Amino acid sequence: MLKTVRVLAENGPVRVELARSEDRLVVVKRLSGFNPDLERRLAREAEVVRKLDHPNILPLLAARDGALIYPYVPGVALADALELGPLSAQRALRIARDLLAALAYAHDRGIIHNDVKPGNVMIRGERVLLLDFGFAKDLGLAAITSTSTAMGTPNYMAPEQFAGERSDPRSDLYAVGAVVYHAITGQPPYGRDVIRVLVGDRSVPLAPLPPAAEAAWSWLRQALAPDPCERFASAPAMLNDLPVPAVNVLV
């Protein structure tokens, strides 16, 4: 039996609660009202996450009575950490390594996350966890969302995803680049002009990195290429090309 401890977040009809289940704390994702479309999305999220077993992906414990039950993991959301200011390039690239390892695993199983952003990244000591596959696309399952529907967070969304394309794993690589750029500079790429970029304006400049992070510049530029064909071909390729500053701090 689940006993709610407190509400962690509410986003429209989706409520995330900290709860107690017997002798452990869990996180429960449920709907606070009737919404057939979101019920289907929660069911699809459960179907997707059940297929994933990776040290950098938060596992699903159970799905019952329309709720998803995840383990409670003490840590700091990257979004909260970035409210205090940017990270060092080394730390940001370390986060990238764990995210790319998680995505390489998911992509190999035909699953595209489609919402990699600081709010879905949990820092737990030296390890990073990728959360919330609520917008994920499983290439092996029939679509439950129109292909013309843009789903994701614009600051971290690739242009093709903004246009409604949800089946290209390279969109996740763009998002990792956007997260790392934000972590290093303190701001998401393109700032207030991001929508101009997403609708095809190639004249908007990408502000340079601070001098201490110059080694990551070419890697980030490739990750953030508007044309997916100009990005890294895969998560393993992007992971293998991580800049040298990450090497000395990774374990």
**Which of residues 54, 71, 88 is at a domain's end?**
71
141 pLDDT band, cuts 50/70/90, is confident
115 and 37 assigned to the same domain? no
DSSP for 76-126, please give it. EEHHHHHTT-PPPHHHHHHHHHHHHHHHHHHHHTTEE----SGGGEEEETT
Same domain, 214 and 120: yes
Q: What is the CA radius of gyration of the chain?
A: 18
Reported as a pLDDT band with limits 50, 70 and 90, residue 250 is: very low
pLDDT tens, 217-239?
999 999 999 999 999 999 999 99
pLDDT confidence tier of residue 248, bands split at 50, 70 and 90 = very low
pTM: 0.92
∠ CA 33-45-19, rounded to 5°: 60
Q: How confident is the model at residue 249 (pLDDT cuts 50, 70, 90)?
A: very low
Is the per-residue pLDDT at 251 higher than 50?
Answer: no
Query: For residue 236, what pLDDT is reported?
Result: 98
Give the confidence band of 149 by pLDDT, cuts at 50, 70, 90: low
Q: Say which of 98, 115, 132, 172 is annotated catalytic.
A: 115
Judge if 54 and 84 occupy the same domain: no
Is the domain of 99 the same as that of 117? yes
pLDDT (tens digit per residue) in 168-215: 999 999 999 999 999 999 999 999 999 999 999 999 999 999 999 999
In this model, does residue 247 exceed pLDDT 80?
no
Output the domain CATH number for residue 42: 3.30.200.20
**Is the pLDDT at 98 greater than 80, yes or no?**
yes
Find out whether 19 and 26 touch, Cβ atoms under 8 Å: yes
How much is the pLDDT for 147?
A: 52
Q: What is the CATH number of the domain that holds 82?
A: 1.10.510.10
Percent of the chain predicted with pLDDT > 90 = 80
DSSP SS3 for 152: coil
The pLDDT value recorded for residue 245 is: 53
Same-domain status, 65 and 151: no
Please indicate, yes or no, whether residues 109 and 226 belong to a single structural domain of this protein. Answer: yes
Q: How many domains does the chain have?
A: 2
Note if 65 is an active site residue.
no
Q: Which backbone phi and psi does 100 adopt, to 5 degrees?
A: -70, -35
CB contact at 8 A, 114 and 160: no
244 pLDDT band (50/70/90 cuts)?
Answer: low
Q: What pLDDT does residue 177 have? A: 98
What does pLDDT average to over the chain? 91
Q: Which domain holds residue 13?
A: 2-71
Mean of pLDDT values over 9-27 = 91
